[in-house]
Copies of this chain bind each other. A is one copy, B any other.
Amino acid sequence: MVLRVASRFIPSSKLAAPVFLRPLALVKPVYHISRLLSTTAIRMAPSNLAPFYEGEPEAPIVKTDVPGPVSKKEIDELCKVFDTRALSLLTDYQKCFGNYIADRDGNVFLDVYAQIASIPIGYNNPTLRKAAQTPEMVNGLINRPALGTFPPHDWAHVLKTGILKVAPKGLDQVFTAMAGSDANETAYKAAFMWRRAHDRGGHHVEFTEEEMHSAMNNQAPGTSNLSILSFKSAFHGRLFGTLTTTRSKPIHKLDIPAFDWPQATFPQLRYPLDQYVEENRAAEQASLDEVEKLILNYHNPPAAVVVEPIQSEGGDNHASPDFFRKLRALTRKHNVLLIVDEVQTGVGATGKFWAHEHWDLQDPPDMVTFSKKAQTAGYYFGNPELRPNKPYRQFNTWMGDPARALLFRAIIEEIDRLDLVANTARVGSYLYGKLETLAGKYPGQFNNLRGKDRGTFIAFDNPRRDEFLARARKFGVNIGGSGQSAVRLRPMLIFQERHADVLVDALEKVVLSFQE
Q: Which residues of A contact B (CB under 8 A)?
A: 71, 74, 77-78, 80-94, 96, 101, 103-104, 115-116, 118-119, 123-125, 128-129, 131-133, 137-139, 141-146, 148-153, 155-156, 159-160, 164, 172-175, 178-182, 185, 188-189, 192-193, 195-197, 207, 211-213, 215-218, 222-227, 237-242, 244, 247, 250-261, 263, 300, 371-372, 375, 387, 390-398, 403, 407
B224-A91 in contact (CB<8A): no
Q: How far is the CA of A363 from the CA of B213 in the complex (A)?
A: 37
- Considering the complex, give the chain B residue whose CB is closest to the CB of A77: B156
| Residues of B with C-beta under 8 A to A224 | 255-257
Q: How far is the CA of A195 from the CA of B255 in the complex (A)?
A: 9
Interchain nearest-CB distance for A379 vs B (Å): 13
| Residues of B with C-beta under 8 A to A139 | 93-94, 124
B138-A129 in contact (CB<8A): yes
| Residues of B with C-beta under 8 A to A86 | 148-149, 391-392, 395
- Considering the complex, give the chain B residue whose CB is closest to the CB of A402: B93
| Residues of B with C-beta under 8 A to A253 | 215-216, 218, 222-223
Q: How far is the CA of A152 from the CA of B407 in the complex (A)?
A: 20
- Considering the complex, give the chain B residue whose CB is closest to the CB of A150: B91
Known A82-B156, A85-B391, A397-B179; contact A216-B250, beta-carbon cutoff 8 A: yes
- Considering the complex, give the chain B residue whose CB is closest to the CB of A88: B149
B387-A227 in contact (CB<8A): no
B239-A80 in contact (CB<8A): no
B115-A390 in contact (CB<8A): no
- Considering the complex, give the chain B residue whose CB is closest to the CB of A114: B146
A149-B89 in contact (CB<8A): yes
Q: How far is the CA of A174 from the CA of B82 in the complex (A)?
A: 7
A-B contact pairs, 14 of them (CB 8 A): A87-B151, A94-B139, A103-B153, A116-B149, A124-B142, A178-B179, A179-B182, A193-B255, A196-B255, A218-B258, A218-B259, A218-B261, A226-B257, A240-B241
Task: Kindly list 20 other residue pairs between chains A and B, CB separation below 8 angstroms, not including A116-B149, A196-B255, A371-B397.
Answer: A81-B160, A83-B175, A85-B391, A86-B395, A93-B145, A104-B153, A115-B145, A115-B149, A125-B142, A137-B141, A141-B407, A142-B407, A179-B182, A179-B397, A179-B398, A213-B250, A215-B250, A215-B253, A222-B250, A254-B393
| Residues of B with C-beta under 8 A to A188 | 240
Q: How many copies does the complex hold?
A: 2
Q: How far is the CA of A130 from the CA of B116 in the complex (A)?
A: 31
Q: What are the nearest 8 A-B pairs in CB distance?
A: A240-B241, A85-B391, A218-B258, A212-B250, A196-B255, A86-B391, A240-B240, A78-B156
CB < 8 Å: which of B90, B153, B164, B251 contacts A71?
A: B153
Q: How far is the CA of A222 from the CA of B250 in the complex (A)?
A: 8
| Residues of B with C-beta under 8 A to A242 | 240
Q: How far is the CA of A500 from the CA of B398 in the complex (A)?
A: 27
B141-A123 in contact (CB<8A): no
Known A89-B150, A128-B142, A240-B185; contact A257-B227, beta-carbon cutoff 8 A: yes
CB < 8 Å: which of B152, B180, B238 contacts A93?
A: B152
A82-B159 in contact (CB<8A): yes
From A123, A255, A375, name the one whose CB has the most chain B CB atoms within 10 angstroms.
A255
A91-B196 in contact (CB<8A): no
Interchain nearest-CB distance for A67 vs B (Å): 11
| Residues of B with C-beta under 8 A to A151 | 78, 82, 84, 87, 90-91
| Residues of B with C-beta under 8 A to A93 | 139, 143, 145, 152
Known A216-B247, A259-B218; contact A150-B181, beta-carbon cutoff 8 A: no
CB < 8 Å: which of B182, B196, B240, B387 contacts A83?
A: B387
| Residues of B with C-beta under 8 A to A131 | 142
Interchain nearest-CB distance for A177 vs B (Å): 9
Interchain nearest-CB distance for A418 vs B (Å): 16
